[in-house]
Amino acid sequence: MTDRIPSAPRQTAARRPVDLRLRDWREVHEDFAADRLERQAGRCMDCGVPFCHLGCPLSNLIPEWNDLVRTGRWQEAADRLHATNNFPEFTGRLCPAPCESACVLGINADPVAIKQVEVAIADRALERGWEAPIRPPAGARAAGRRVAVVGSGPAGLAAAQQLTRAGHRVTVYERADAPGGLLRYGIPEFKLEKRWLDRRLDQLRAEGTSFECGVHVGADLTAARLRDRSDAVVLACGARVPRGLPVPGADLPGIYQAMDYLTLANREVAGLGNPAADVAAASAAGRHVVVIGGGDTGADCLGTALRQGAASVTQLEIMPQPPRQRPDGQPWPLYPMIYRVSSAHEEGGERVYAVSTQRFLAGQDGRVRVLVLADADLADGRVTVRPGTEREVRCDLVLLAMGFTGAEDGELLRGLGLGLDERGRVPRGDDYATSTAGVFVAGDMGRGQSLIVWAIAEGRSAAAAADRYLAGDSALPAPIRASAAPISLRARL
């Protein structure tokens, strides 16, 4: 039990030394001692109006579990945490923590280390077996209906867990050979060790959720057959269509979309095997690597390339370098766009801002060898290339990490009588229902490429909507409407 001391300094887990962590794929953070954690939780002021709730799309009960940790009641804290979040071991590691930007302490001091407390509670709960399978109430299974969830990223998994716990018979269909979506094959091991994902999947299976992997719905299983097998469908297929780079030479060998590269690398780390020629062609070992795109996907490519033994890594960003401090136009409690240093940036590589790629040139072997770039100016929201600033950058491997244009438009959507809007999303009402009765959409597929915390919140909410459709009513929580926007946007509306 520690006192409530908001003036205590903020502390988070130290990162392992760079030279050590570059030699393995393990998570970069050291463990954080429980007594120090209780002290950190004691920085929470238990505000009358907890703005951190507004920052968190899941409305996590942050002051409540901070207080339970502060007073050493960890198992109760785990119960309160799991009351709103199916997978705090993912968000506690990977969430950019808009809750911390909205923390009241952050007005004139460092915010509470909310994410640190969250992951510590989640890990302790999994390690001590407090996360036993939750079975539906007696008799609920008999009344339950058949639900198909398509896609097993965080949105699909959250929807499946909620619906199974409500008593429905849920089958998750996944195109890849293992469940997890971007948690498994996008996000590298050094950010999320897959053992956490596998432990959570064990819980889902023990609760009764079924998984059919290696099934591409729309191809291996038609939309019509899917509907025959289910009373309701939750689509959670992500927003996986990558943005292209329409410049000369963009189709040269040695240029990869980030997700293709990260999938190969993640499979390799997990010992799942890839065609040897693909691994050799896409490996960064000994190569000069250029990552195009300054966001988080680009940083994941950077950390991966450094661990593979790249000779150099340069990360290019078309926008100017953001400020280091909160700009005036993005005051508390908004999530500010500022210069951030991820663990991968700490490990090496060079970041170059305000540049635009003009073309690629091949070497004698036909593989990419040179990238030509030029300075880019931003004015009135438009980027223009500054004449006379062209220069060459050596590259043997180029990774395109410029974001995603939306969901895939294919047989699955056509077979269900659905399509995409102008931003590549599957249209839906505020209740996650599409125009086809009994078909709901959750996660990036409906929202556009977003964050894990939003995917979980959407999965939970879509589950409530599907349950209501099937049973006429639902006791499942629905944390957000489909149109809910982040606090930063909401404040301007």
Instruction: Find, among 61, 49, 57, 63, the residue nearest to 6 by Cα.
Output: 63
Q: Does 236 bind ligand FAD (CB under 6 A)?
A: yes
Footprint on residues 52-91 left by ligand SF4 (CB under 6 A) = 55-56, 58, 60, 62, 91
Q: Decide: is 113 part of the binding site for ligand FAD (CB under 6 A).
A: no
Q: Which position among 170, 412, 464, 480 is part of the footprint of ligand FAD (CB under 6 A)?
A: 412
Q: Which of residues 139-178 bind ligand FAD (CB under 6 A)?
A: 150-156, 173-176
Cβ nearer to ligand SF4, comparing 118 with 300 = 118
Question: Of residues 62, 166, 451, 464, which one binds ligand FAD by CB under 6 A?
Answer: 451
- CA atoms of 172 and 152, how far apart (whole Å): 7
Supply the minimum distance, in Å, between the C-beta of residue 450 and ligand SF4.
Answer: 12
98 is in the binding site of which of ligand SF4, ligand FAD, none (Cβ under 5 to 8 A by kind)?
Answer: ligand SF4
Q: Cβ of residue 114: shortest distance to ligand SF4, in angstroms?
A: 5
Query: 397-400 and 255-257: which strand pairing?
Result: parallel
Question: Interface with ligand FAD includes 444 (CB under 6 A)?
Answer: yes
Q: Does 100 bind ligand FAD (CB under 6 A)?
A: no
- Binding of ligand FAD by 98 (CB under 6 A): no
Which of 42, 50, 63, 98 touches ligand SF4 (CB under 6 A)? Answer: 98
Q: Report yes or no: 304 and 279 within 8 Å, Cβ to Cβ.
A: no
Binding flag, residue 463, ligand FAD (CB under 6 A):
no
**147: contact with ligand SF4 by CB under 6 A:** no
Q: Does 85 engage in binding with ligand FAD (CB under 6 A)?
A: no
Stretch that binds ligand SF4, among 96-104, 243-251, 357-365, 425-433 (CB under 6 A): 96-104
- Whole-angstrom distance, CA of residue 268 vs CA of residue 335: 35
Q: Which of 216, 227, 345, 394 binds ligand FAD (CB under 6 A)?
A: 216
CB closer to ligand FAD out of 121 and 262: 262
Q: Which does 161 bind (CB under 5 to 8 A by kind): ligand SF4, ligand FAD, none?
A: none
Cα angle 63-45-117, degrees, rounded to a multiple of 5: 45
Beta carbon nearer to ligand SF4, 117 or 264: 117
Binding flag, residue 296, ligand FAD (CB under 6 A): yes
- The helix (H) or strand (E) run that includes residue 389 is none
- For residues 312 and 31, what is the distance between their CA atoms, to the nearest angstrom? 30
Nearest to 56 by CA among 425, 457, 374, 437: 457
Binding to ligand SF4 (CB under 6 A) within 450-479 occurs at: 453
Alpha helix ranges (H) inside 318-431:
343-347, 411-415
Cα–Cα distance, 230 to 226 (Å, whole number): 6
Given the DSSP bridges, would you call strands 368-379 and 391-394 parallel, antiparallel or unpaired?
antiparallel
Query: CB under 8 Å to 315, separation ≥6 — which residues?
Result: 290, 291, 293, 294, 298, 299, 302, 349, 350, 351, 352
Q: What share of the chain is helix, strand, coil (3-state, %, to 5)?
A: 35, 15, 50
Contact segment (CB under 6 A) with ligand SF4 among 112-120, 333-341, 394-402, 460-468 equals: 112-120
Given ligand FAD, ligand SF4, none, residue 154, with its beta carbon under 5 to 8 Å by kind, binds ligand FAD
End-to-end CA distance of the chain: 42
Nearest to 319 by CA among 262, 407, 403: 403
How far apart CA 124 and CA 38 sit, in angstroms, is: 13
Positions touching ligand SF4 (CB under 6 A) are 55-56, 58, 60, 62, 91, 95, 97-99, 114-115, 118, 453
